[in-house]
Chains A and B, each alone.
Chain A
Amino acid sequence: MKHLRSIKTNYYKTISLLVFFLVLIPKTSFSAGPENNKNEGFNAGDMILHHIYDAHEWHVFDWKGKSYSIPLPIILFHKERGLSVFMSSKFNHGHDTYKNYKLDHGNVVCINDSGELDEAQTAKLWDFSITKNVFSLLFSIMLLMIIFTTISNRYRKNTNQAPRGIQSLLEPIILFIRDDIAKSAIGEKDYKKYLPFLLTVFFFIFLNNLLGLVPFFPGGANLTGNIAVPMVMASLVFIITTLSGKKYYWKHIFAMPGVPKPVLLILTPIEIFGVFLKPLVLMIRLFANITAGHIIILSFFSMIFIFGEMHPLAGYGVSIFSGLFVLFMMTLELLVAFLQAYVFTLLAAMYFGMAVEEH
């Protein structure tokens, strides 16, 4: 009976997911764009950057020269014209203008009445659109909430029992972060305060790194490889470190004990610079690693088309090696996905540990 019910709920879940897509597709008019311009030839750099950058629509696939994509909501705030919300399908893949707005290389810009780019007006524009990355962000947050409230409920129901299912998959990671990152880097006394942040950061980065490796919808957005995302997390690390800094921490920055006064004149600026440098490095490390991983994988794919343009047979031949290389890189990226999440969490924990250190 119980099994039957779980099958049923799974069935309903699948159905509702399908309905979600079916509703999404026709309504948002999986709009077929005009034919791609074939004359230009394949440009690997453009293709790679297109995949790494954010976008206002979610490109799903090309079929018979037409590109099919899911339109996403565009939310614009202009200092004079006010708020305007509409679907990106109005732009027709950047071919049409709407309310004097236009898509220019993936960015929304203002145009004047004669249809030319208006720089002055564009400067007054704030783009809060639900872009591909924002959508991916919301999706991953939803996924995280579902996964962790599910296992949290399971913990609440089966107290003092061995973990089951996804619980037993995630419990070792949670324990690893608690014991080997938080406890060892921050110390027995203070680690509890920072643990929820560290766990959230870890699973957020890990999940989004993994989703970034999924080549099709709803994965594939380069979220953790977009500088804004690590920037927010690194800023939070910076804020928390600064706010929880104790006497010992500040003393070591402004007046390192046991260092002669003249040396302090050099050392103190370096230390102050270091306070800002630490989160900066944290941000750049994550951003660069993930973006680089995407670029490498996409480069190997590009090789197929570059050789394919020379001769179709060359394309087929290269595709074997490219495929193998991509397979290898994907495996490596799976490791990197975990490693970068781990490194970010560990370094954040170490910064917190430095801030609360006492003697």
Chain B
Amino acid sequence: MELVKPDIGLLFWMTICFVLLLILMKKYAWGPILKALNDRENGIRDALNQAQKARDEISSLKENQNNIVMEAKAEREAIISEAKKFVDEYKLEQKTLIDQEMDKRLQSVQDSIQKEKQAAMDSIKKSVASLSVEIAEKILEKKLESDSEQQDLINKSLEKLDVK
């Protein structure tokens, strides 16, 4: 029977010591330990959430970046095409200008050639006239014997002139 008969001394010490152990452990062990475990769990959860957030942010940033790059590319294209157009226009403009100038110059050259030609013709005509007079004088001086000989002479003289 002694086995199941609680000993008063042990009951007394056990009650005091165990209650004391409960209080001390709660204050010095379980409090800090459970708090640290809780804090760590929360910390890990927060860190995971933050990492997720950062990842999301990065992906959105990347998207943004892509958008910016695309925009820049489009802008570049636009600028280039505009520039090309401008260049083309400019070229065309310059070409017409040059053409016009050339035409003008050609015209003036042609004009001057025409004038020269006219002047040359005039001087030739004058020369022919004076030559004709000379020939006529020569013929007259020679006193031509026959009409046919006269005709020949005139023709020959004219051929020599070679006026155009």
User: Which A residues, 24 to 73, have Cβ-Cβ distances below 8 Å to chain B?
Assistant: 49, 52-54
CB of A83 within 8 Å of the partner chain = no
Mark interface residues in B50-74 (1 if CB within 8 Å of A CB, else 0). 0000000000000000000000000
CB of A199 within 8 Å of the partner chain = yes
Contact: A160 with B18, CB < 8 Å?
Answer: no
Residues of chain A at interface, number, CB under 8 A: 49
Of the candidates A128, A151, A156, A159, the one whose C-beta lies within 8 Å of that of B13 is A128
Q: Which residues of the partner chain A approach B36 to less than 8 Å between Cβ atoms?
A: 155-156, 159
Of the candidates B11, B13, B37, B43, the one whose C-beta lies within 8 Å of that of A171 is B37
Contact: B28 with A152, CB < 8 Å?
Answer: yes
The CA of A174 and the CA of B31, in the complex, are separated in Å by 12
CB of B159 within 8 Å of the partner chain = no
Of the candidates A53, A151, A171, A287, the one whose C-beta lies within 8 Å of that of B2 is A53
Q: How far is the CB of B156 from chain A (nearest CB, A)?
A: 132
Contact: A54 with B18, CB < 8 Å?
Answer: no
Mark interface residues in A123-150 (1 if CB within 8 Å of B CB, else 0). 0001111110110011001001100110
Contact: B11 with A231, CB < 8 Å?
Answer: yes
Contact: A200 with B22, CB < 8 Å?
Answer: yes
CB of A232 within 8 Å of the partner chain = yes
CB of B33 within 8 Å of the partner chain = yes
Of the candidates B18, B37, B43, the one whose C-beta lies within 8 Å of that of A232 is B18
Contact: B10 with A149, CB < 8 Å?
Answer: no
Q: Which residue of A lies closest to B14 (CB)?
A: A232
The CA of A127 and the CA of B13, in the complex, are separated in Å by 11
Q: How far is the CB of A283 from chain B (nearest CB, A)?
A: 10
Q: Which residues of the partner chain A approach B13 to less than 8 Å between Cβ atoms?
A: 128, 130, 134, 137-138
User: Which B residues, 1 to 45, have Cβ-Cβ distances below 8 Å to chain A?
Assistant: 2-15, 17-22, 24-26, 28-34, 36-37, 39-40, 43-44
Mark interface residues in A160-201 (1 if CB within 8 Å of B CB, else 0). 110000000001001100100000000000001001110110
* A156 with B8, Cβ < 8 A, contacts A196-B22, A199-B25, A232-B15 known: no
Q: Which residues of the partner chain B approach A178 to less than 8 Å between Cβ atoms?
A: 34, 37
CB of A204 within 8 Å of the partner chain = yes
Q: Which residues of the partner chain B approach A128 to less than 8 Å between Cβ atoms?
A: 8-9, 12-13
Of the candidates B2, B8, B22, B39, the one whose C-beta lies within 8 Å of that of A159 is B39
Of the candidates B12, B25, B29, B43, the one whose C-beta lies within 8 Å of that of A160 is B43
The CA of A127 and the CA of B6, in the complex, are separated in Å by 12
CB of A228 within 8 Å of the partner chain = yes
* A131 with B28, Cβ < 8 A, contacts A232-B18, A233-B18 known: no
The CA of A192 and the CA of B3, in the complex, are separated in Å by 36
Contact: A137 with B17, CB < 8 Å?
Answer: yes
Q: How far is the CB of A175 from chain B (nearest CB, A)?
A: 7
- The CB with the most chain A CB atoms within 10 A, among B7, B17, B22, B40, is that of B7
CB of A303 within 8 Å of the partner chain = no
The CA of A161 and the CA of B2, in the complex, are separated in Å by 51
Of the candidates B6, B8, B14, B37, the one whose C-beta lies within 8 Å of that of A137 is B14
CB of A226 within 8 Å of the partner chain = yes
Contact: A148 with B33, CB < 8 Å?
Answer: yes
Mark interface residues in A64-96 (1 if CB within 8 Å of B CB, else 0). 000000000001000000000000000000000
Q: Which residues of the partner chain A approach B24 to less than 8 Å between Cβ atoms?
A: 145
Q: How far is the CB of A286 from chain B (nearest CB, A)?
A: 13
Mark interface residues in B133-163 (1 if CB within 8 Å of A CB, else 0). 0000000000000000000000000000000
Q: Which residue of A lies closest to B24 (CB)?
A: A145
* A200 with B14, Cβ < 8 A, contacts A134-B9, A144-B21, A160-B43 known: no
- The CB with the most chain A CB atoms within 10 A, among B9, B37, B43, is that of B9
The CA of A152 and the CA of B7, in the complex, are separated in Å by 34
Q: Which residues of the partner chain A approach B22 to less than 8 Å between Cβ atoms?
A: 196-197, 200, 236
Contact: B11 with A152, CB < 8 Å?
Answer: no
Q: List 24 A-B contacts (CB under 8 A).
A: A53-B2, A126-B8, A126-B9, A127-B9, A128-B9, A130-B13, A131-B7, A134-B13, A137-B10, A138-B17, A141-B20, A144-B21, A145-B21, A148-B33, A155-B36, A156-B36, A161-B40, A171-B37, A174-B34, A196-B22, A227-B3, A227-B5, A228-B10, A232-B14
B residues within 8 Å of A by Cβ? Answer: 2-15, 17-22, 24-26, 28-34, 36-37, 39-40, 43-44
A residues within 8 Å of B by Cβ? Answer: 49, 52-54, 75, 126-131, 133-134, 137-138, 141, 144-145, 148-149, 151-153, 155-156, 159-161, 171, 174-175, 178, 192, 195-197, 199-200, 204, 226-229, 231-233, 236, 287, 291
6 closest A-B pairs (Cβ-Cβ)?
A148-B29, A155-B36, A228-B6, A196-B26, A228-B10, A196-B30
